[in-house]
Chain A
Amino acid sequence: MTLTESALAGNRLSISRLLTQVENDSPEGRLALMELFPHTGKAHLIGVTGAPGTGKSSLVNQLTLHYRKQQNKRVAIIAVDPSSPFTGGAVLGDRVRMRDLSGDEGVFIRSMASRGSVGGLAQTTASFTQVFDAAGFDIIIIETVGAGQSEVDIARLAHTTIVVEAPGLGDDIQAIKAGILEIADILVVNKADRPGVENTERALRTTLELAHPTKRIFRHHGQTIAIDAPEVDSKIWIPPIHKTISTDGTGIAELAESIEKHKAHLHQSGDWAHRDRARLGSELEAVLQEELLNRFFDGIQKEKYNAIIESVLQRNISPYEAVILLLNGSSKQEKL
């Protein structure tokens, strides 16, 4: 039995080894992804993002417990933490909050270092979801690195994106709302036992009310329908706000219900297919980009490339000209 077959059959060691192959972008990993791809497309991908320390991991822990106990769904968790930009090393600590899940065969937790990616995920996170999807996990929860403003890649990957806030971040709310709040399908104010939770909730609600009209027009691809048109209203998903306490599980059942509603909404509105298309489209583009770059470097002499970098360093040519030179073999500077 090949590693892929064994992973498809649910063998945990095989799944784990396959993930490593995929993460290291080995030829075996790529081959496996090709074989696994036809088996994908069934799982519900749930993204969990938010600032560091808002309780994302604890929330994932509780949500997974809920799915296991109430719905008997198989859950895979991909927990991404940052790699050091200097050494490439990483400390991946999300498992610390997920100890309740150990000993359960229906759960698979995999930590992932971002390895230089800046969008809140690692480059191969999307491929990881395909491995888990093919291996028969019903729900795949992707926890991003602690996110600031622009770590919004998760919205492209996940069907349902949960943005986690916590009280006491105060003015930070103002800073966050421009970027990350826009991608929320569901908002969670975690640590709801802490003082200031009402303020945080109010701030979020206000922000949503302001942002909402823009979203409508965005969603419907330039069909500038009047904002109060009723048939549009029924198709619009208004992100609910949930208060949770992830240390004791308060609010988790309601959150899970909202996630289910969002899934139903996606199917009903056609957004599920829409998002799938966008996701696979951007994945294709990323692979294409990488492949083209690799082919380009395979086809160019190192000396020539270094000489051109040197010219750029000397300020003889600009990077733009350098690219023309590299791609066409000539530019106006070449005659000089």
Chain B
Amino acid sequence: MTDKKIRVLVAKPGLDGHDRGAKVVARALRDAGMEVIYTGLRQTPEMIAEAALQEDVDVVGLSILSGAHMALAPRILELLKANGQQDVKVFIGGIVPDEDTPRLKEMGITGIYGPGASTEDIVRDIREAIK
């Protein structure tokens, strides 16, 4: 009877320990009526792909502040695909230099958000992406 809920995995790959941004986003998505699976800090790409599989999410949101996005993002996309979840939309929030944006989008990252991005934009883009 209800609409299908949007399920989002919010994960922090890599070694930096700052998860405030991820929590702010998780909370905003919750308030937008989405179901957010929060996995916590220091996740490997394998852990993230496994969680995405078990939770059958529509969206994976990665918080990366360490600068390792060019290594982590393709690996996660690859694993999702290997698991048969190529339809899952992947978003990145954190510190990503502008010059990396085109290459990440080319790889298949749906959206990239830096400091000052509004949570409303993120919510809107997620809804748009999984229509």
Contacts and interface: CB of A to CB of B under 8 A. Distances in A.
Contact of B53 (A16, A95, A103): A16
A13 B83 contact: yes
Contact of B30 (A17, A89, A103, A115): A89
Nearest to A105: B50
A92 B84 contact: no
B45 to A, nearest CB: 11
B51 A16 contact: no
A300 interface: no
Contact of B4 (A12, A24, A84, A110): A24
B47 A88 contact: no
Contacts of A89: 29-36
B56 A113 contact: no
Nearest to A20: B56
B38 interface: yes
B30 A96 contact: no
B56 A16 contact: yes
B38 to A, nearest CB: 5
A84 B30 CA distance: 8
A110 B50 contact: no
Task: Say whether chain B's binding surface is mostly helix, strand, loop, or mixed.
Answer: mixed
Interface core residue of B32, B36, B85 (most chain A CB under 10 Å): B36
A17 B4 CA distance: 13
Contact of B1 (A12, A25, A95): A25
B33 A110 contact: no
Nearest to B7: A20
Interface in A96-146: 96, 99, 102-103, 108-111, 113, 115
Contact of A113 (B26, B35, B50): B35
A32 interface: no
A70 interface: no
Contacts of A24: 2, 4-5
Contacts of B32: 87, 89
Given A13-B84, A88-B5, A113-B5, A99 B30 contact: no
A96 B85 CA distance: 22
Contacts of B26: 91
Contacts of B47: 99, 102-103
Count class of interface residues, chain A: 20 to 34
Nearest to A12: B53
Given A92-B36, A95-B38, A102 B46 contact: yes
A87 B31 contact: yes
Contacts of A115: 2, 5
Interface core residue of A13, A89, A90, A108 (most chain B CB under 10 Å): A89
Interface in B1-15: 1-2, 4-5, 7
Contacts of A84: 30-31, 33
A93 interface: yes
Nearest to B47: A102
Contacts of B114: none
B37 A92 contact: yes
A102 B47 CA distance: 6
10 closest pairs, A vs B, by CB? A89-B30, A96-B40, A16-B56, A102-B47, A89-B33, A20-B56, A87-B33, A93-B38, A88-B33, A92-B37
27 contacts: A16-B55, A16-B56, A19-B56, A24-B2, A25-B1, A84-B31, A84-B33, A87-B32, A87-B33, A89-B30, A89-B31, A89-B33, A89-B34, A90-B35, A91-B27, A91-B36, A92-B37, A95-B38, A95-B39, A96-B39, A96-B40, A99-B40, A99-B47, A102-B47, A103-B47, A113-B35, A115-B5
Interface of A: 12-13, 16-17, 19-20, 24-25, 83-84, 87-93, 95-96, 99, 102-103, 108-111, 113, 115
